[in-house]
Amino acid sequence: MRNLLIFITKYNAFFLFLIFEITSLVIYIKYNSFQKATFINSTNKVTSEFYDRADELKGYLSLREVNDQLAKENADLRNQLRSSKFLDSVAKHVVNDTIYKQQYEYIDAKVINNSVNKRNNYLTITKGSKDGVAKGMGVITGSGVVGKVVLVGEHIAIVQSLLHKDSRFSAMLATNKEIGYLEWGDDLDPHKGLLGDVSNTAQPKIGELVVTSQLSLFPAGIPIGKVSKLNAKGAGFFLNMEVALAVDFSKLEYVYVINNKFATEQTGLEAQEKKDE
């Protein structure tokens, strides 16, 4: 308190000047209509600018919440798609009882860790066993295929990216449905893949869409990329072609984990078949 009094005493002339200046300015504006109107307009403009900036800041701070909500809504919409269901048809005399039942469920998740510049790349996502995520489930984004779940915790899961030497997914040319497999190329380019073992009777074209096949752990028709180069390597009875990947792996923020409700049953039956051979 003593220091404050000393400070005021030392600079009393300045404070008196400031008080007189403000008082004279208030009187000048209050009793002159033109200056008063100008001051009010200027104040309104400054206030409007302040509120606009405050609203922008508020909107920016709420982006994460908005994105989380949009991701959830997109997952809900994907669950309603016809491609997420299977057709259960039962013929009774001349009456066909046709019911579409849920086969695929989509679980939205946020990417919290990701790599693209290694030989074996992985993602970490914010959903785990508590949310229904299990090992072996496919992972996509709005643009296309991302990878598959390989490790699962209660709240977190690790996804083996398509950009991994061991990643291989059944894929097909969208036009003629010729099936092959999609893997990451040896040049480690995060924007390119290799579609191999496609029948040489196929007639692929540059720019043709490559999608998941019905033999993959994904629903058929999920985008993978577009043919960018023909006969990238190999020859003979099968074609190999370079594919420009649909997903930009360096910009992943939200993904969808696909729960195929028939996966366990299918795996069990196929294992039994191999055992009986």
Backbone φ, ψ for residue 147 (5° rounding)? 165, -155
Is pLDDT larger for residue 16 or for residue 224? 224
| The pLDDT value given to residue 56 | 61
**For residue 95, is pLDDT > 50?**
no
For residue 36, the surrounding DSSP H or E stretch is: helix 33-61
CB 156 within 8 Å of CB 124: yes
- Per-residue pLDDT at 216 exceeds 90: no
Average pLDDT rounded to a whole number, residues 64-80: 60
- What is the arithmetic mean of pLDDT over 17-26? 74
Q: Mean pLDDT lowest for which of 53-57, 136-140, 186-190? A: 53-57
Tokens of 19: 């008080």
Burial class (CB in 10 A: 0-12, 13-18, 19+), 246: buried
Round to whole Å and give the CA distance between 213 and 251.
25
Report how far residue 218's alpha carbon sits from residue 86's, in angstroms, rounded to the nearest whole number: 13
Helices assigned H by DSSP within the chain: 2-10, 12-30, 33-61, 63-79, 263-276
Q: How high is the pLDDT of residue 27?
A: 73
pLDDT tens digits for range 239-270: 889 999 999 999 888 899 998 877 666 555 54
- Residue 123: other Cβ atoms inside 10 A: 24
Strand partners, 243: 193, 227
pLDDT at res. 223 = 92
Tell whether the model's pLDDT for residue 43 goes beyond 50. Answer: yes
The rounded distance, in Å, linking the Cα atoms of 116 and 146 is: 12
Higher local confidence (pLDDT), 89 or 11: 11
Residue 241: name the closest of 267, 203, 271, 276 by CA: 203
Reported confidence tier of residue 97, pLDDT bands at 50, 70, 90: very low
What does the pLDDT average to over 219-236? 80
Whole-angstrom distance, CA of residue 223 vs CA of residue 171: 9
User: What distance in Å separates the CA atoms of residue 13 and residue 3, rounded to the nearest whole number?
Assistant: 17
For the residues 212-233, what does the mean pLDDT come to? Answer: 85
* Confidence band for 28, pLDDT divided at 50, 70 and 90: low
> Which residue in this structure is represented by tokens 């404050």?
4
pTM over 0.85: no
- Position 238 scores a pLDDT of 82
**Which position has the higher pLDDT, 75 or 111?**
111
| Summary mean pLDDT of the chain | 77
Among 23-27, 223-227, 247-251, name the one with the lowest average pLDDT: 23-27
Is residue 181 a contact partner of residue 170, using CB atoms and an 8 Å limit?
A: yes
Q: State the SS3 of 40-51.
A: HHHHHHHHHHHH
Q: Measured on CA atoms in the order 40, 46, 49, 50, is the torsion positive or negative? A: negative
User: Is residue 4 over pLDDT 50?
Assistant: yes
**Separation of alpha carbons 130 and 143, rounded Å:** 26
Residue 271 has pLDDT above 80, yes or no: no
